[in-house]
Amino acid sequence: MVEALDQTSNADLALPSIPLGYAIRMADLRVKERRAAVIRDCSTVTPEYECKWDALCRTDGSLDFDAMDEVVAFAEAHRMGLHGHTLCWHRSIPRRFLDVDPERFRAAATAYLSNVVRRYQGAMLSWHVVNEPLQITDGYDDGLRVSPYLSALGADYIHKMFRLVRTLDPQALLVLNEMGLEYDSPAAEQKRQLMLALLQRLMSEDVPIDCLGLQSHLNARDFLSGNHRNFARWLQEIKSLGLSIEVTELDVDDRDLEGDVEARDETVARVYLEYVEMVKTNARLSGVTLWGVSDEGSWLNTSGSRLAARPLALDAYLMRKPAWFVLQASSRQV
Ligand code: G3I
């Protein structure tokens, strides 16, 4: 039974001081109840797939904007901020451009980025210009991931792409988005230090970057058993650089937890609260996006694992879970 969705919209609720949003798919907008839940809960939305290069790219290499146009029209109709996810990502390169010569890749990647940013210039609150630039195991001293972007555009591809997007869309906030920076582990600490050094380098060379995006795919058991002093201290260092933090893909994997659904949901809510409060306390938090509208649609449940994850704020029936109430409350207090 779908909970009777009150029609309260953000305009009626006291607007949260920290914009909250969901990653949405075009399919979400086609279901009345899901659409209503997004309108009720979100002041921002992020296309989970529709803006990516492989999503837009037709087999002949041309770009099909129909799905993304629909997402943009929805956001504009409901006065929601839009996060343009994501312009450069090694996992969203269309198959036809994976094994081409560097010049062909550079031309195609730049054409996709320029066409998308020009089309939606002025409509975007932010652009996720580069996603997941670091991969320590690739062996570079600065931790940069070996990708077609690095090979074709050079070690300063991040500089080039941020400068290009700033030129094409001067109003939007420009975000460098990364995963795995939030954990209490030696690998995460090493990645945090490499990210800090990368950001210091970019800013010293006047690269126009406004925000660091923390994907924030959390594991409930690991988070609650972890010591987050290093993460908190590192957030303060990011803040001292003058950069804001956007929590870009928040979800809390509860599959390692003991207990029934009710107990797991309460624990997930506790992780949401503690994590958002930690980032609010130690950083200039510019927004929080959950990576999906409701549990059953989460990317965590696409791998066919034995136990369904309940990582988000709404369950499969769009019922509001304890995490929903925690997030609404936490987003209102500065
Ligand atoms: O919509 C098409 C459908 O028409 C087609 O028939 C089908 C056949 O493959 O594909 C469908 O698209 C899928 C899309 O999700 C639908 O939402 C793509 O194959 C699939 O690759 C895509 O997966 C997304 C993935 O990124 C890759 O783009 C996930 O939904 C999305 O949750 C995931 O999100 C990433 C972030 O962008 C970056 N951070 C990690 C995060 C999780 O991997």
Q: How confident is the model at residue 199 (pLDDT cuts 50, 70, 90)?
A: very high
pTM for the model stands at 0.94
In the reported structure, the alpha carbon of residue 296 is separated from the centroid of ligand 1 by a whole-number distance in angstroms of 14
Indicate if ligand 1 lies below 6 Å from the C-beta of 216: no
Place of tokens 């509208």: 293
Q: How confident is the model at residue 302 (pLDDT cuts 50, 70, 90)?
A: confident
Indicate if ligand 1 lies below 6 Å from the C-beta of 249: yes
In the reported structure, the alpha carbon of residue 87 is separated from the centroid of ligand 1 by a whole-number distance in angstroms of 15
pLDDT at 333: 67
- Residue 220's alpha-carbon distances to 9, 151, 275, 283, 296, in angstroms, are 30, 37, 10, 22, 18
Q: How confident is the model at residue 307 (pLDDT cuts 50, 70, 90)?
A: confident
Angular region, 16: left φ>0, alpha ψ -120 to 50, beta rest: beta
CA–CA distance, 177 with 164 (Å, rounded to integer):
17
Q: How confident is the model at residue 2 (pLDDT cuts 50, 70, 90)?
A: very low
pLDDT at 7: 44
One-letter identity of residue 164? L
pLDDT at 334: 58
| pLDDT tens digits for range 60-95 | 999 999 999 999 999 999 999 999 999 999 999 999
Q: How confident is the model at residue 43 (pLDDT cuts 50, 70, 90)?
A: very high
Indicate if ligand 1 lies below 6 Å from the C-beta of 22: no
In the reported structure, the alpha carbon of residue 152 is separated from the centroid of ligand 1 by a whole-number distance in angstroms of 25
Indicate if ligand 1 lies below 6 Å from the C-beta of 298: no
One-letter identity of residue 186? P
Does 266 score more than 90 pLDDT?
A: yes
Of 334 and 170, the structure prediction assigns the larger pLDDT to 170
Please state the atom number of ligand 1 nearest to the C-alpha of residue 215. 39
Which one of 299, 300, 302 would you pick to mutate in the ligand 1 pocket, going by the greatest count of ligand atoms within 8 A of its CB? 299
Indicate if ligand 1 lies below 6 Å from the C-beta of 215: yes
CA–CA distance, 125 with 279 (Å, rounded to integer):
20
pLDDT at 1: 36
- 3-state SS class at 317: coil
**Residue owning the nearest CA to atom 15 of ligand 1:** 49
Please state the atom number of ligand 1 nearest to the C-alpha of residue 131. 38
- Residue 326's alpha-carbon distances to 82, 134, 232, 312, in angstroms, are 23, 32, 21, 12
Percent of the chain with pLDDT over 70: 94
**Closest Cα to residue 219, out of 279, 264, 281, 262?**
264
- Find the helix or strand (DSSP H, E) in which 20 lies: strand 20-24
Does 15 score more than 60 pLDDT?
A: no
Q: Are 84 and 172 in contact (CB under 8 A)?
A: yes
CA–CA distance, 241 with 199 (Å, rounded to integer):
8
In the reported structure, the alpha carbon of residue 134 is separated from the centroid of ligand 1 by a whole-number distance in angstroms of 21
pLDDT at 12: 42
In the reported structure, the alpha carbon of residue 49 is separated from the centroid of ligand 1 by a whole-number distance in angstroms of 6
CA–CA distance, 63 with 83 (Å, rounded to integer):
19
Q: Are 78 and 43 in contact (CB under 8 A)?
A: no
H runs (alpha helix) in 241-317: 261-282
Cα four-point dihedral sign 129, 131, 132, 138: negative
| pLDDT tens digits for range 107-134 | 999 999 999 999 999 999 999 999 999 9
Does 41 score more than 90 pLDDT?
A: yes
In the reported structure, the alpha carbon of residue 126 is separated from the centroid of ligand 1 by a whole-number distance in angstroms of 20
pLDDT at 11: 44
CA–CA distance, 164 with 98 (Å, rounded to integer):
22
One-letter identity of residue 323? A
Average pLDDT across the chain, whole number:
94
**Residue owning the nearest CA to atom 4 of ligand 1:** 55
| pLDDT tens digits for range 133-190 | 999 999 999 999 999 999 999 999 999 999 999 999 999 999 999 999 999 999 999 9
Tokens found for residue 30: 């086609």
Q: Are 275 and 281 in contact (CB under 8 A)?
A: no
In the reported structure, the alpha carbon of residue 51 is separated from the centroid of ligand 1 by a whole-number distance in angstroms of 11
| pLDDT tens digits for range 214-262 | 999 999 999 999 999 999 999 999 999 999 999 999 999 999 999 999 9
Q: What is the DSSP string of 148-201?
A: HHHHHH-TTHHHHHHHHHHHH-TTSEEEEEESS-SSSSHHHHHHHHHHHHHHHH
In the reported structure, the alpha carbon of residue 293 is separated from the centroid of ligand 1 by a whole-number distance in angstroms of 14
Tokens found for residue 115: 């066409």
Query: What is the dihedral angle through the alpha carbons of 286, 292, 298, 302, rounded to the nearest 10 degrees?
Result: -100
**Lowest-pLDDT range, 2-6, 29-33, 153-157?**
2-6
pLDDT at 298: 97
CA–CA distance, 201 with 133 (Å, rounded to integer):
14
Q: How confident is the model at residue 8 (pLDDT cuts 50, 70, 90)?
A: very low
Work out the number of other CB atoms within 10 angstroms of the CB of residue 97: 19
pLDDT at 190: 98
